[in-house]
Every structure is written in structure tokens, then in C-alpha cells.
Structure 1
Amino acid sequence: MSLRVRVADCVAAAAEVWRVLPQEVLSRRRTADVVEPRQAAMLLAARLTDQPAARIAARLDRDHTTVLHGLARARERAARDDAFAARLDAAERLALTLAARRAARGVP
């Protein structure tokens, strides 16, 4: 059985690693303390799910162009900022763990 990661797993993981609430990641706020984990969640969703940018955008209540911009920014930041890259890796491991726990309970 293949592990199915949800966008919600990516949001929850990024929120936990960046120490913000998932609701803040999904909020309309544009302060750096929520933009960074939001963009990380976008990148994780692109990496770990089979969802196109438009579907990720819908799950995050954003426009798909916002997600495309967020993906570009997160990729750029990960390439130049080791601390961001480390947090991103931690969030990716956590998102996979959340999906595995859900699968172990028999929840798709």
C-alpha cells in the first residue's frame, strides 16, 4: 500500500516545525512568521502529494499563482538558507510520519 500524504499533513507539519498554529498557516496574514511556514507547506505539498498547484491552492484557500510564487520562494530559500532547509527536511519527515500514522489506523 502506498503512503498517501495530504496537503493537511504538510500544513500540520510545517506549523509544528515553525511553531505556529495550522490556522495561522491557512490565515490571510502575510507576516514573515506565517509566510515562511506557509511557503514550506506549499513546497512539501508539491513534493509529497500528487496534487497540482491549483488543487494545493484550493486546499490552502489561495490562488494557484500564489502557490506557484510560494513554491519558487521556498525553493530559493532552501537553496541559500541552511536553517530553512533543515526545518523543511524536519517538516517533510513529520508529514510522512503523520501520513503513516493515519494509514496505520486504516484512514485513507
Structure 2
Amino acid sequence: MRKPRRPDPEVLEFDYRVPTALGSIGWTVALVVLLAMGDRLPLESRWWIWVCVTGIALGVFAYFYIPRLLRKRAEAEQRHAARRNAGSKPPASAAPAEGAGPSGTTSDAAP
């Protein structure tokens, strides 16, 4: 016999920029260490310098992009909720069946 499923935990909201900044700082430290090694860094390992540069560039991009992404998602959710609330009030003259679209058919697709 299976145990009953426990409820899902609450979603933990936090500032996603903090781990992004910490990752970028880590790549910056690694780059400084590699550059400080200078000629002692073997030629076959110099590609790590470009890995660090790429990590820094992606981290900086993400640091500035994440707030925009979250703002756009929140705006889309608000638009979706407004559209859902506006669609739940049928006109008084001819109310279609529950869940039916304007043509009388049921559809979950957005217009």
C-alpha cells in the first residue's frame, strides 16, 4: 500500500541575481589567478582563460537580464489573469454553456 502524497512545499522566492553575481565573481577570481600565473601556465591549458572570460560575460548578461525576465513574466501572468477574469463574465443576453467559446465549442487555446 502506498503512502499518501505529501503536499508540495511553498515556492521559495529569492533574488536570483545573488547567485549570478557570486558565480561571476568566482569566474573573475579564476581569471585573475590564471593571468597571475603568466608563463607558468602551460600552453595546452591557456584555453581556460577564455572559459573564464565567457563565464564572466554570461554572468554579467544574466545579472542584468534576470530582472527583466521576471518583470515580463509577471506582466504576462497579469495579462493572463485579466483575460481569464474578463472571459468568466458572460454577457447577459446570450450566455454560452460553461467552458464554451463564442462559437459554442470548448477550447483551451488562446485566441
**Larger helix percent:** 1
TM-score over 0.5 (shorter chain) = no
Instruction: Normalising by structure 1, report the TM-score.
Output: 0.31
Larger relative contact order (C-alpha < 8 A, sep ≥ 6)?
Answer: 1
Instruction: Normalising by structure 2, report the TM-score.
Output: 0.31
Considering only CA atoms, is the larger Rg found in Structure 1 or Structure 2?
A: 2
